[in-house]
């Protein structure tokens, strides 16, 4: 049952979360102006699933002959699925800035793999339980928030050593048919307008931390859940050309003795598997982030081209403008290419699903995390300085100044001042506003900070194999000159026997 955006919005009326936005209790999420841009952004993921032209990207079947489900709730079966998902996220975020719903995809895929692995190791039956859950959320086409990043308290201490254990979510007890959890998740994207939360551990755990190794699904309005959030985007701001329409709300979610029935629990104390679950989710999520920020890059590229046109400049004649656009394009397509490579070299998981190749997923995320700032710089470069002195939108209705400003603030003869101002405000909205700051910080830290990506790259890369390959070269180099070796029928290819078992990147067969 694929909902559309309007149905999704309506569906939120069936929930009554305890929710505060900017200190005010929100009683109807569907009607709150402060959340409308967030609901609209998530809504794109619903509407696009009904667009025939996008059917391949936006929908999928979990099994041959099974029902169509939204791509954002689909567990990838093949590398082609990974590529379609990547492209789907890009298309969604080009429209909405950030559609937020891909986090659900990333978590569902991570839990799918991890539960199979835990069962194999511990004899549990989480995987079947999760498959039933998966089928249900696909059928109901839910919006699911990912509650992963704990509040963390003193960062130099492990979860179980915190003075206040509620700085991390953890199991505090058991009631018939389920567990009881408490604690705080500090950064939950889209929290106010989700149907459910998937609670996940945010790090590897040790035996002492067993109570903190918990993964489960919780309805947004389960008793004991409190959501504290900020508005989504810049609702109601007249100069927010883009983010009055689409935005993201990031919230803190407090769990206070929340009961979770067993069939919604997918990890409960198996601390030794917490790290795998976390890093597998992270690999999916970094891959999705690449698509998301490429979509945002499309917005900047388009806005830059529009601004150049409004200013009356021609990139073919103004080399530095063209160079800035090419640099912007190269950044966006450069990290997107890493997402493509992570798909093309996707890895089949024993659970039967496909996951992105982790090195490329991490290299791409690392690239975008730092390059987002250059993207802003380049957007500013091509826009010119006008952006800082744009009269505010209220000026548009000031009878005393309106005509004069219109007369002198235009650019090319065929570009009216009002259009140039609107484009300038769009650029400000995307690159020089609170919303712009959100995009930067979420790009840098979302899905893990640069240090985390570096660790993963180092952990996964076949450095030892390359070292050994070069060691052979040195040994051969010391043994004698090449020319003779060739003449004598030496086989330089021989060392490659080793090389080819684990070839440079990954050799497809």
How far apart (Å, rounded) are the C-alpha atoms in residues 73 and 68?
11
| Tokens 């590897």, residue located | 204
Whether residue 225 contacts residue 258, with contact meaning beta carbons closer than 8 Å, is answered with: yes
| Tokens 């069936």, residue located | 14
Nearer to a second copy, 144 or 202 (CB): 202
Nearer to a second copy, 126 or 438 (CB): 438
How far apart (Å, rounded) are the C-alpha atoms in residues 376 and 18?
37
Closest distance of CB 7 from a second copy, Å: 10
| Beta strands 68-70 and 347-348, pairing class | unpaired
Distances in whole angstroms, Cα of residue 343 to Cα of each of 265, 354, 450: 30, 9, 21
Phi and psi for 279 in degrees, rounded to 5? Answer: -75, -30
Closest distance of CB 10 from a second copy, Å: 10
Q: What is the largest CA-CA distance in the chain?
A: 92
Closest distance of CB 502 from a second copy, Å: 11
Nearer to a second copy, 116 or 324 (CB): 324
Closest distance of CB 220 from a second copy, Å: 16
Nearer to a second copy, 69 or 83 (CB): 83
Rounded to the nearest 10 degrees, how much is the dihedral formed by the CA atoms of 48, 45, 366, 369? Answer: 100
Whether residue 203 contacts residue 278, with contact meaning beta carbons closer than 8 Å, is answered with: yes
Phi and psi for 254 in degrees, rounded to 5? Answer: -100, 130
Nearer to a second copy, 347 or 495 (CB): 495
| Beta strands 144-147 and 196-199, pairing class | parallel
- Among 135, 256, 251, 144, CA closest to 200: 144
Nearer to a second copy, 128 or 398 (CB): 398
The DSSP letter of residue 223 is T
Provide the 10 A C-beta neighbour count for residue 389: 8
Provide the 10 A C-beta neighbour count for residue 332: 22
Burial classification of residue 9, based on how many CB atoms lie within 10 Å of its CB (0-12 exposed, 13-18 middle, 19 or more buried): buried
Nearer to a second copy, 90 or 127 (CB): 90
Closest distance of CB 40 from a second copy, Å: 5
Closest distance of CB 459 from a second copy, Å: 10
Closest distance of CB 347 from a second copy, Å: 15
Nearer to a second copy, 73 or 340 (CB): 340
Closest distance of CB 176 from a second copy, Å: 27
Closest distance of CB 136 from a second copy, Å: 26
Closest distance of CB 207 from a second copy, Å: 23
Nearer to a second copy, 64 or 497 (CB): 497
Whether residue 397 contacts residue 354, with contact meaning beta carbons closer than 8 Å, is answered with: no
Nearer to a second copy, 118 or 187 (CB): 187
Distances in whole angstroms, Cα of residue 439 to Cα of each of 51, 122, 401, 469: 27, 41, 34, 42
| Beta strands 214-219 and 265-268, pairing class | antiparallel
């Amino acid at each position: 049952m694929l909902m559309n955006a309007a149905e999704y919005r309506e569906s939120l009326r069936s929930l009554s979360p305890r929710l505060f936005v900017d200190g005010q209790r929100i009683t109807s999420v569907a009607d709150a102006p402060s959340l409308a841009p967030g609901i609209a952004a998530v809504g794109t993921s619903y509407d696009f699933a009904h667009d025939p032209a996008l059917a391949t990207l936006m929908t999928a079947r979990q099994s041959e002959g099974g029902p169509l489900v939204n791509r954002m709730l689909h567990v990838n079966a093949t590398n082609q699925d990974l590529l379609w998902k990547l492209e789907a996220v890009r298309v969604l975020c080009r429209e909405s800035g950030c559609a937020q719903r891909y986090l659900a995809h990333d978590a569902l895929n991570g839990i799918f793999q991890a539960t199979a692995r835990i069962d194999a190791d511990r004899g549990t039956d989480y995987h079947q339980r999760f498959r039933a859950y998966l089928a249900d959320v696909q059928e109901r086409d839910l919006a699911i928030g990912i509650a992963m990043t704990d509040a963390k308290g003193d960062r130099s201490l492990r979860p179980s050593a915190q003075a206040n254990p509620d700085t991390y979510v953890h199991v505090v007890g058991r009631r018939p048919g389920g567990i009881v959890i408490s604690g705080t998740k500090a950064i939950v994207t889209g929290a106010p307008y989700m149907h459910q939360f998937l609670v996940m551990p945010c790090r590897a755990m040790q035996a002492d931390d067993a109570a903190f190794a918990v993964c489960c699904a919780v309805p947004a309005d389960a008793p004991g859940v409190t959501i504290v959030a900020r508005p989504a985007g810049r609702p109601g701001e007249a100069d927010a050309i883009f983010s009055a329409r689409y935005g993201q709300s990031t919230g803190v979610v407090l769990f206070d003795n929340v009961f979770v029935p067993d069939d919604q629990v997918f990890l409960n104390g198996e601390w030794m598997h917490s790290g795998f679950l976390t890093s597998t989710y992270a690999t999916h999520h970094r891959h999705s982030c690449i698509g998301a920020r490429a979509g945002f890059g499309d917005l900047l590229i388009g806005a830059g081209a529009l601004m150049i046109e409004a200013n009356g400049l021609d990139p073919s004649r103004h080399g530095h403008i063209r160079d800035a656009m090419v640099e912007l394009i190269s950044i966006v397509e450069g990290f997107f290419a890493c997402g493509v490579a992570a798909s093309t070299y996707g890895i089949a998981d024993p659970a039967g699903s496909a996951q992105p190749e982790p090195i490329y997923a991490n290299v791409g995320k690392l690239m975008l995390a730092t390059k987002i700032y250059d993207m802003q710089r380049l957007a500013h470069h091509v826009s010119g300085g006008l952006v800082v002195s744009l009269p505010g939108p209220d000026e548009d209705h000031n009878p005393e100044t309106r005509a004069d400003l219109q007369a002198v603030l235009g650019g090319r003869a065929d570009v009216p001042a009002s259009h140039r101002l609107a484009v300038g405000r769009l650029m400000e909205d995307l690159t020089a506003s609170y919303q712009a700051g959100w995009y930067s910080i979420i790009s840098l830290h979302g899905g893990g900070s640069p240090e985390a990506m570096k660790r993963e790259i180092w952990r996964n890369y076949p450095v030892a194999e390359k070292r050994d390959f070069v060691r052979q070269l040195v040994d051969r180099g010391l043994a004698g000159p090449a020319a003779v070796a060739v003449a004598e029928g030496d086989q330089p290819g021989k060392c490659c026997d080793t090389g080819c078992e684990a070839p440079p990147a990954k050799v497809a067969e």
